[in-house]
């Protein structure tokens, strides 16, 4: 597997501009001869489809929802980072770059992260121009706030609905292109496989989720922006439809899968209420700007609270352990996500957890309300407080919120080079679906930034460069008549038929839940060699059972949510094993990946830069063969590797 990252020569601050200059350009009159396939319509996919169409390429865009406006980017609440330094507080491109590399626990690729920081300013400009109603100050200037893991205020926001507003901005641009006929939009279509011709990605196979019809689509290249794989855990903050299928199918066709064990567990989610639950709800990290996180100091107090004999508000000040402020005085409640999550788990492991299950800690606004007044808090977090009350029935203005970590984001993803091209030539990957920018841990408000950076400012260049290199003579030459399409379509069809014919006794959801339990227990917040080895065996056994005993009701034709679910769970069954394998291979703790064997005396993550400063990239070799591990070494020329300290 060729893992040449194609990082341009030169100073880090000049790499992107000199690379752009060296890229092949496609004559505007020739662009209409090319056809680009974009899968996914979130920030990365929607922005890429819109921008490529603006440039003059013909685009087909696919999403599984009923409208591109519903992609899961919409659920991001807190904000988007940009190195604007509007607050005059010492921010710069270099600082955002540095914070992101450090926040990722030195497991991200420097050049990509620098570019991300570099284009971050343009993203805000672009969003404002397209009508995103960011929060403003009275003088009419944009407002900022500080966000988890940063000591400057560089986060732009639109109430607690930043993701929604950014997505609506990208969706508006995309809609304009759909109206102009430059983008053909395929709603309610799910990508089930990728088609390669002469080694290059030249098309996809999709299922129309309304008619059930499976069809072929050919293009000059393929862009995947299909999101993350957090739903492998069954319970996560991801939308119900989020899945790994597109990325995993690409992996099986030769795309390297990088760092699948890097998953982010977000510290501020609403605790699990019981086994009827289908999904976890995130409370924005912005709440940690004013809320103080605490657990009872003694396990006895916690026990009384759990038993309903004591109320949180009645716990005296000296009975409270504001553990983030205690352990990380300089960052306090704003400590990065991986660190905050582990600290919460630690408190609960010590028996100091609250909520009925003992898996919860408090996020308390008492002091903030006393300091700033209820009105100010209402203005900042009103909709989040309402949401919390709606879900739990508790009023967070009066009693502290209960929170617990939950799976939220996937830092791992398909391996891409500097051009965001995967190991399959002609297949580009953007947004959460790729691996490149967040290392082993993502900082708050950086996902929106990355999605839009890829979609608006990176892919439109690098895709054009690829098409230019292929030459205009090749444009549109591959059609769905090529035998490769028939071959892949037959495989997809056979898989569908198989799923429908097993006729077992257990539902796809039930299998999914069981899979989720295994990976959460053994490949979740804390991982051990022993646990991972047993998880791999358990997942294999479960997968075998799935293919013998899954029950998919309904038919291949028409709307069939069970069939959709079964296909996704089948891929999660394989992917879960890959994730555990990666976690087992990585004999160190870094960011969201915490191996219990590798920790300091006070329970902090212990990285091993000597042996593990690399991207672990997996190559598929067959269903019955173990995947091969390849390494892309991470070379740090601009940031000094250091122990990440937030103390």
Residue 410 vs 523, nearer CB to another protein? 410
Residue 240 vs 643, nearer CB to another protein? 240
Q: Which of 70, 337, 352, 607 is catalytic?
A: 337
CB of 565 to another protein, least distance (A): 10
CB of 502 to another protein, least distance (A): 13
CB of 230 to another protein, least distance (A): 13
CB of 281 to another protein, least distance (A): 6
Residue 238 vs 436, nearer CB to another protein? 238
CB of 605 to another protein, least distance (A): 30
CA 232 to chain centre: 12
CB of 456 to another protein, least distance (A): 4
CA distance 395 to 232: 32
Q: For the range 269-276, what are the long-range contacts, defined as Cβ-Cβ under 8 Å and sequence gap of 24 or more?
A: 269/237, 269/403, 269/404, 269/405, 269/406, 269/408, 270/388, 270/391, 270/392, 270/402, 270/403, 270/404, 271/355, 271/357, 271/359, 271/360, 271/402, 271/403, 271/404, 272/235, 272/357, 272/359, 272/404, 273/356
Q: Does the annotation count 337 as an active-site position?
A: yes
Residue 234 vs 614, nearer CB to another protein? 234
Which residues neighbour 237 within 8 Å (Cβ) at sequence distance 6 or greater?
Answer: 75, 230, 266, 269, 279, 280, 281, 282, 406, 407, 408
Which residues neighbour 338 within 8 Å (Cβ) at sequence distance 6 or greater?
Answer: 105, 264, 265, 440, 441, 591, 592, 594, 605
Q: Which two tokens mark 438?
A: 């967040």
Residue 103 vs 271, nearer CB to another protein? 271
Which residues sit opposite 265 in a β-bridge?
A: 407
Q: What is the DSSP string of 297-356?
A: SSHHHHHHHHTTSS-GGGS-GGGEE-HHHHH-TTTGGG--HHHHHHHHHHHHHTT---ST
CB of 136 to another protein, least distance (A): 4
Question: Alpha carbon of 392 to those of 153, 280, 281, 307, 386: distances in Å?
Answer: 31, 12, 11, 18, 10
Residue 30 vs 122, nearer CB to another protein? 122
| Max CA pair span of the chain | 77
35-39: strand order across its sheet: 183-186, 58-62, 35-39, 221-224, 427-429
Which residues neighbour 50 within 8 Å (Cβ) at sequence distance 6 or greater?
Answer: 170, 173, 174, 176, 177, 183, 455
Q: Which two tokens mark 327?
A: 């352990």
CA distance 511 to 62: 28
CB of 580 to another protein, least distance (A): 27
Query: 139: how many CB neighbours lie within 10 A of its CB?
Result: 5
Element (H, E) at 520: helix 508-523
CA-CA-CA-CA torsion for 476, 421, 253, 452, nearest 10 degrees?
-90
Residue 382 vs 476, nearer CB to another protein? 382
Which residues neighbour 307 within 8 Å (Cβ) at sequence distance 6 or greater?
Answer: none
Residue 388 vs 614, nearer CB to another protein? 388
Helix-, strand-, coil-residue percentages of the chain, each rounded to 5: 45, 15, 40
Residue 129 vs 307, nearer CB to another protein? 129
CB of 512 to another protein, least distance (A): 11
Helix (H, G, I), strand (E, B) or coil at 385: helix
Residue 49 vs 324, nearer CB to another protein? 49
Question: Alpha carbon of 212 to those of 188, 280, 467, 556: distances in Å?
Answer: 10, 30, 32, 6
CB of 447 to another protein, least distance (A): 15
| DSSP conformation class of 455 | I
Catalytic residues: 337
């Amino acid at each position: 597997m060729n893992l040449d990252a194609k990082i341009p020569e030169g100073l880090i601050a000049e790499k992107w501009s000199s690379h752009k200059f060296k890229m092949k350009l496609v004559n505007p009159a020739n662009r209409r001869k090319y056809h680009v396939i974009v899968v996914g319509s979130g920030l990365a996919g929607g922005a890429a489809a819109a921008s490529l169409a603006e440039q003059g390429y013909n685009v087909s865009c696919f999403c599984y929802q009923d409208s591109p406006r519903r992609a899961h980017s919409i659920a991001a609440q807190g904000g988007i980072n940009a190195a604007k330094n509007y607050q005059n507080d010492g921010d710069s491109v270099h600082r955002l770059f540095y914070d992101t590399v450090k926040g990722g626990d030195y497991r991200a690729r420097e050049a990509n992260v620098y570019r991300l920081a570099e284009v971050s300013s343009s993203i805000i400009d672009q969003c404002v121009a397209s009508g995103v109603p960011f929060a403003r100050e009275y003088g009419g200037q944009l407002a900022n706030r500080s966000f988890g893991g940063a000591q400057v205020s560089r986060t732009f926001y639109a109430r607690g609905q930043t993701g929604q507003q950014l997505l609506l901005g990208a969706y508006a641009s995309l809609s304009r292109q759909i109206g102009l006929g430059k983008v053909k939009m395929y709603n309610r279509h799910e990508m089930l496989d990728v088609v390669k011709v002469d080694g290059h990605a030249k098309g996809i196979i999709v299922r129309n989720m309304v008619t059930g019809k499976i069809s072929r689509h050919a293009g000059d290249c393929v862009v995947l922006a299909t999101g993350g794989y957090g739903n492998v855990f069954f319970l996560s903050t991801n939308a119900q439809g989020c899945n790994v299928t597109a990325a995993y199918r690409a992996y099986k066709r030769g795309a390297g899968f990088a760092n699948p064990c890097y998953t982010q567990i977000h510290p501020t989610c609403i605790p699990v209420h019981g086994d009827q639950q289908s999904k976890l709800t995130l409370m924005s990290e912005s709440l940690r700007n004013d809320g103080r996180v605490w657990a009872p100091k003694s396990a006895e107090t916690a026990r009384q609270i759990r038993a309903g004999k004591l109320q949180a508000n009645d716990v005296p000040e000296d009975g409270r352990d504001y553990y983030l402020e205690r352990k990380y005085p300089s960052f306090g409640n704003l400590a990065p996500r991986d660190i905050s999550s582990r600290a919460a788990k630690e408190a609960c492991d010590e028996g100091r957890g609250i909520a009925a299950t003992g898996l919860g800690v408090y996020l308390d606004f008492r002091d903030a309300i006393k300091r700033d007044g209820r009105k100010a808090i209402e203005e900042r977090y009103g909709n989040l407080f309402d949401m919390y009350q709606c879900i739990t029935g508790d009023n967070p203005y009066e009693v502290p919120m209960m929170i617990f970590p939950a799976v939220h984001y996937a830092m791992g993803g398909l391996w891409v080079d500097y051009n965001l091209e995967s190991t399959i030539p002609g297949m580009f990957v953007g947004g959460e679906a790729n691996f490149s920018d967040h290392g082993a841990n993502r900082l708050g408000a950086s996902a929106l930034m990355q999605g839009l950076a890829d979609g608006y400012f990176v892919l439109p260049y690098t895709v054009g460069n690829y098409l230019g290199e292929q030459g205009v003579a090749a444009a549109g030459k591959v059609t769905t008549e090529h035998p490769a399409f028939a071959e892949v379509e037959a495989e997809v069809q056979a898989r569908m038929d198989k799923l429908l014919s097993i006729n077992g006794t257990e539902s796809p959801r039930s299998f999914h839940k069981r899979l989720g339990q295994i990976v959460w227990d053994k490949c979740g917040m804390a991982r051990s060699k022993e646990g991972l080895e047993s998880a791999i065996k358990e997942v294999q056994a479960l997968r075998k059972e799935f293919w013998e005993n899954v029950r998919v009701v309904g038919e291949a034709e028409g709307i069939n949510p069970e069939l959709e679910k079964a296909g996704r769970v089948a891929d999660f069954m394989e992917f879960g094993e890959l994730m555990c394998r990666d976690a087992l291979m990585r004999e160190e703790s870094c960011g969201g990946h915490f191996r219990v064997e590798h920790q300091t005396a006070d329970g902090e993550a212990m990285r091993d830069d000597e042996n593990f400063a690399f991207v672990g990239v997996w190559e598929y070799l067959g269903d019955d063969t173990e995947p091969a591990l390849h390494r892309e070494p991470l070379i740090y020329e601009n940031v000094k590797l250091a122990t990440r300290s937030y103390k």
